[in-house]
Copies of this chain bind each other. A is one copy, B any other.
């Protein structure tokens, strides 16, 4: 599970780390209860500060993606429950993106094609046949 960071981009480093770990969990590269590298270790590997990694980990913990213990370190959390309230959050995030797509003359099919492409790219090991 290699994590790379773009220092030149306008996306915060801790957000990049957080996103890549979420992607790793979604893709099945990070399995439940699997230990994550310690904050100091990952910071040294990437070449960033400990607090930056800690901020990413803390956010992941608050969002329920990982579990942190002062002694045993950080671990991937068990799979989430399927909460309908998340769909409202998803809709809020998709609203400006879909509007942009419409302005670029993309149809709903075009957007869903991209969604399915990303889904397949992540889903090689991410699905376990729940539906």
Which A residues are closer than 8 A to B by beta carbons?
19, 22-23, 25-27, 65, 79-83, 86-87, 90-91, 93-108, 110-112, 114-119, 122-123, 126, 130-131
Instruction: Give the complex CA separation of A122 and B99 in angstroms.
Output: 7
Report if A19-B106 is in contact (Cβ < 8 Å); known contacts: A114-B94, A115-B94: no
Q: Decide: A80 and B103 in contact? CB cutoff 8 A.
A: yes
* A99 and B65 form a contact (CB under 8 A): no
Cβ–Cβ contact A130 & B105, under 8 A: yes
**Contacting residues, chain B, for A79 (C-beta < 8 A):** 103, 105
Number of chain copies forming the complex: 2
CB contacts (< 8 Å) of A86 on chain B: these are 101, 104, 106
28 contacts between A and B (CB under 8 A): A19-B99, A22-B96, A22-B99, A22-B103, A23-B96, A25-B99, A26-B100, A27-B99, A81-B105, A82-B104, A82-B106, A86-B104, A87-B110, A90-B97, A90-B100, A90-B111, A91-B114, A91-B118, A93-B97, A94-B114, A94-B118, A98-B118, A102-B126, A108-B119, A111-B115, A112-B112, A112-B115, A115-B115
Measured in the bound complex, the distance between the Cα atoms of B90 and A118 in whole Å is 11
